[in-house]
Amino acid sequence: MSFPLPVRPLRDARLLAPEPDGAPRGPDPSGPEIIEIAEAAGVRGRGGAGFPLAKKLRSVASAAGSTRFVIANGEEGEPASVKDRFLLRERPELVLRGLALAARAVGADRSYAYVSDPAAARRLAGARGGDLVDVVRVTPGYVAGEETAVVRAVGGGPALPTAKPPRPWQAGLGGAPTLVSNAETLAQLALAVRLGPETYRRLGTPESGGTFLVTLSGAGQAPVLYEVPYGVPLRELVTTHRGTAAGVTGMLAGGFAGGLLPPSALDLPLTHAALAAAGSTLGCGAFVLLAGECPVGVAADVAAFFDRENARQCGPCVTGTAGVADVLAGLTVRSATWSDVARLERWGQALAGRGNCATPDAVTVLVGSLFLHHRDLVGAHVDAECERCAVSPVTADTKFRISLEEP
């Protein structure tokens, strides 16, 4: 059975297309050469932060100690993203090739692939190179893919984030330097090595080489996974997807982690810098388009998700994330007061950087974006009936999350 979502290229970006049978695997560079290629190709992380891969590889390779590990992180906790599961199910050899290259680059003793998707685990185990990797299964969860949670779970513990520092590259599995790299990032490393940095960089921008996968959903369309060159305007992607950008009233950007953006964001180029300058993030490359839904209702739904998924082990989540979710839920049923709104705005500024993982930061971005772009609508839920809610209510059936069928 093929992947349950359509997968399409934008502007003929097909780096991640299957290789023809018998295609050469490409060159076999040394560890230092792999790091140089990653740097020259401008490969950046596709899991969320967009960190330059070469820097990460160099940090693990040069960290003190004689034992090192690498982990392909395929636990895709972002509910609006499917791209890692696509790669793990449909291009497992590319991910494994990238993992083997990363292992050589840092001098790793052992490699792991960390996934929750049973189909991905099966495909990895049966793929060429899969016998050299330990596949670790985890229960799906928003925080289970956070890098310290990954290390903890691969080491036999709970898939819960720990305080940083140390980061895994400093002290990861068993205290040894450990590279935790997103599955798509590793697939891109394999591509950069196979194609060479110059060819790889023909797509993309000076700051980010190559292509990346965008899970595009919402606005009444079935979700589609697109391979997109960095730097193309979001409007071009949306127009290709829907035939028009008209009627798009906003979006959730970067999965759930990038908050709400107004329709003017359609004119942003798809780069890390442009999304960051807009107060958001490219994150895992997932965008949920909105077509009239009340942003307060959308924010309430997303905050409820964060509250359900948070690990309840840090104060900012136990009180802050839960409080944000409560006030937003209260706004949707018109039980919240102006003093609740004032608390919501305070929490929205106070939570960032205060947990073991980035969940409180995501809550901060969500609340900040709601007040920045929709302050009037927040007030409308206290003082009067919200016209948006009357026309297009956000209900439990509103599809901000994508579930994949088991093949």
Binding site for ligand SF4 (CB under 6 A): 143, 161, 310-314, 316-317, 355-357, 359-360
If the CB atoms of residues 290 and 358 are measured against ligand SF4, the closer one turns out to be: 358
| Smallest distance, ligand SF4 to C-beta of residue 402, A | 21
79 or 161, CB closer to ligand SF4? 161
Q: How far is the CB of 220 from ligand SF4 (least distance, A)?
A: 32
Least CB distance from residue 338 to ligand SF4, whole Å? 28
Return the number of the residue (333 or 350) whose C-beta is nearest ligand SF4.
350
Q: Which is nearer to ligand SF4, 73 or 188 (CB)?
A: 73
How many CB atoms are located within 10 Å of the residue 282 CB?
29
d(CA 325, CA 310): 12
DSSP for 360-373, written as a single string: HHHHHHHHHHHHHH
Closest residue to ligand SF4 in the complex (CB):
355
Least distance in angstroms from the C-beta of 344 to ligand SF4: 18
Which CB atom, from 152 or from 381, has the smaller least distance to ligand SF4?
152
**Minimum CB separation from ligand SF4 for residue 196, in Å?**
40
**In 193-310, beta strands by DSSP E:** 211-218, 221-229, 250-252, 260-261, 286-290
Secondary structure letter of residue 143 according to DSSP = G
Q: Are 269 and 93 in contact (CB under 8 A)?
A: no
* Token pair for 265: 């964001």
CB of 405 to ligand SF4, least distance (A): 28
Pick 102 or 257: Cβ nearer ligand SF4: 257
